[in-house]
Structure 1
Amino acid sequence: MLDDFMMRALLAGLAVALATGPLGCFVVWRRMAYFGDATSHAAILGVALALGFQISIFVGTLIVALLMAMIVSVMAGRGWAMDTTLGVLAHSALAFGLVAVSFLPAVRVDLTAYLFGDILAVSRMDLAIILSGSALVLGMILWRWSALLTATLNEDLAHASGLSPARERMVLTLSLAVVVAVALKIVGALLIAAMLIVPAAAARNVARTPEVMAMFAVVIGGLSVWGGLQLSLWQDTPSGPSIVVVAALIFALFTFAAALVQKRPGR
């Protein structure tokens, strides 16, 4: 079964959707969209360093994503104006990564694959790494679900309950870094944030509880992967952007349906 490249691509995409679904909900609730951008854009710098030091792309990406996520988390804890700071960090990290790659003339790099993903090229080893990383993230989110939700809703309530908002923020930070590292192969650095945000934003239109929203986000992410792969196969479009296009269409459909329901008499 795993000899079929489309099956490997589908399994890899579904594994990432399992992790990005619940994690994306916290990104939406905490308004961390730019946080995801900064971490994902730093992945290109990780690719450049990995190629320069001849180490695994996954390891290089994970190290830089963790470093960027830790920097952003510390700055957020100290009360920095995060919108501007994250904008600077996100675009600077991407630019440094692109420039660093140009200093590697002996290495031929297809940056398009890292920027927009190449899910159809997922190997058995890539699939094993993606499955392991997604399982780790999903496990951390499930383990800390109640604490993360409490810290997200009200930090004072979290303190009163004996929880540490800083620790819960660190769990999200580590989870985000791992997701960026494993999703780079699938949707690329420029589209990782979309896979985190769009399914969760679509799920928010139909969910009434946090748990239902997380489950809907996983389902929408999985449908986006399947639909994007079908679109890519049918119309020969880039697979990563196709996945995000399907997710955006689902978001538009759910938003329109929610607006119609709200306009019904008696609502």
Structure 2
Amino acid sequence: MFDDFQFRAILAGVGVAIAAAPLGCFVVWRRMAYFGDATANAAILGVALSLALSVSVFAGALTIAFFMALTVNALSGRGFAMDTLLGVMAHLALAFGLVAVSFIQGVRLDLMAYLFGDILAVGRVDLAVIWGGALSVFALLAWWWTALLTATLNPDLAHASGFNPKREQLILTLCLAVVVAVAIKVVGVLLIAALLIIPAAAARPISTSPERMAATAGVIGVGSAIGGLHMSLWYDTPAGPSIVCVATVMFIVTNLIGTARGIGA
């Protein structure tokens, strides 16, 4: 069963969607869409360093993604506008990563696979890494849900309840770094932010609670992964962008449903 590349691709897509959906909800709620871009783009530099040092690509991408997440977390609230800071960091990280890749000698590198993903080439080891990281992130978010949600919606209430908003933000940044590292193989660094944001944004108009929004985003994310893979196989289109296209269609549909409900009410 695991020798079937289509089945492995579906498992990889579902694994990433399970982790990205609830995390994407926090990104949407906190209005930090650029945060995913900054962390994801930094992973290209991690890929370059891992190839130069002959270490695991996952380890290199995770290390640099962690570093970027911690840097942004440390700089936030120190006189920088968050959207401006994240925009600068996102483009800076991508530029440095691409320059670093150009210096690698004697290594055959399929840059397009890292930029847009190569889910159809996922192997057993990749599956183990993807599901290990995805389940770790999902378990941490489920365990820390109340504190993370309270700190996101009302920092003052979080302080009164004994939670530390800065600590909760740090947990989210670290979770994001893990998701970015495991999602590189699936959708690539340029589309990771889309997989984080679009399912969550699609779930928002048809959800009545934060928990329902996270669950709905998970369903939309899984459906996008499966639908995008089928689209890729039927029409010979790139798998990663196809997944994002299906998620975008779902976003349009759910927003039309939400609008229709509003008009009916």
TM-score by length of 2: 0.99
Amino acid at match of 1:226: I
Instruction: Find the counterpart in structure 2 of residue 108 from structure 1.
Output: 108
Instruction: Find the counterpart in structure 1 of residue 32 from structure 2.
Output: 32
Instruction: Find the counterpart in structure 1 of residue 83 from structure 2.
Output: 83
SS of residue matched to 1:205:
helix
Instruction: Find the counterpart in structure 2 of residue 60 from structure 1.
Output: 60
Measured on the aligned residues, the alpha-carbon RMSD in Å equals 0.7
Amino acid at match of 2:82: M
Instruction: Find the counterpart in structure 2 of residue 232 from structure 1.
Output: 232
Alignment of 1:1-267 (within 5 A): 1-264=1-264, 267=265
Amino acid at match of 2:226: W
1:165-202: CA deviations, max 9, x gaps? Answer: 01101110110000000000000000000000000000
TM-fit CA distance, 1:78: 2.7
Amino acid at match of 1:136: S
TM-fit CA distance, 1:77: 3.8
Is the CA contact (8 Å cut-off) linking 1:19 and 1:137 kept in structure 2?
Answer: yes
Is the CA contact (8 Å cut-off) linking 1:77 and 1:166 kept in structure 2?
Answer: no
Aligned length: 265
1:211-252: CA deviations, max 9, x gaps? Answer: 000000000000000000000000000000000000000000
CA distance in 1 between partners of 2:41 and 2:52 (Å): 18
Amino acid at match of 2:232: S
Amino acid at match of 2:163: L
1:10-36: CA deviations, max 9, x gaps? Answer: 011101111011000000000110011
CA distance in 2 between partners of 1:210 and 1:122 (Å): 32
Is the CA contact (8 Å cut-off) linking 1:38 and 1:90 kept in structure 2?
Answer: yes
Amino acid at match of 1:128: A
CA distance in 1 between partners of 2:174 and 2:102 (Å): 29
Is the CA contact (8 Å cut-off) linking 2:224 and 2:247 kept in structure 1?
Answer: yes
TM-fit CA distance, 1:79: 4.2
CA distance in 2 between partners of 1:124 and 1:79 (Å): 46
Deviating beyond 4 angstroms after TM superposition, the runs of 4 or more aligned structure 1 residues are none
TM-fit CA distance, 1:81: 1.2
CA distance in 2 between partners of 1:76 and 1:185 (Å): 29
CA distance in 2 between partners of 1:44 and 1:167 (Å): 27
Q: Name the stretch that deviates more: 80-89 or 220-229.
A: 80-89
CA distance in 2 between partners of 1:147 and 1:78 (Å): 23
SS of residue matched to 2:76:
helix
CA distance in 2 between partners of 1:97 and 1:2 (Å): 33
CA distance in 1 between partners of 2:169 and 2:77 (Å): 9
Q: Quick one: percent identity of the two aligned structures?
A: 62
Is the CA contact (8 Å cut-off) linking 2:32 and 2:83 kept in structure 1?
Answer: no
TM-fit CA distance, 1:156: 0.7
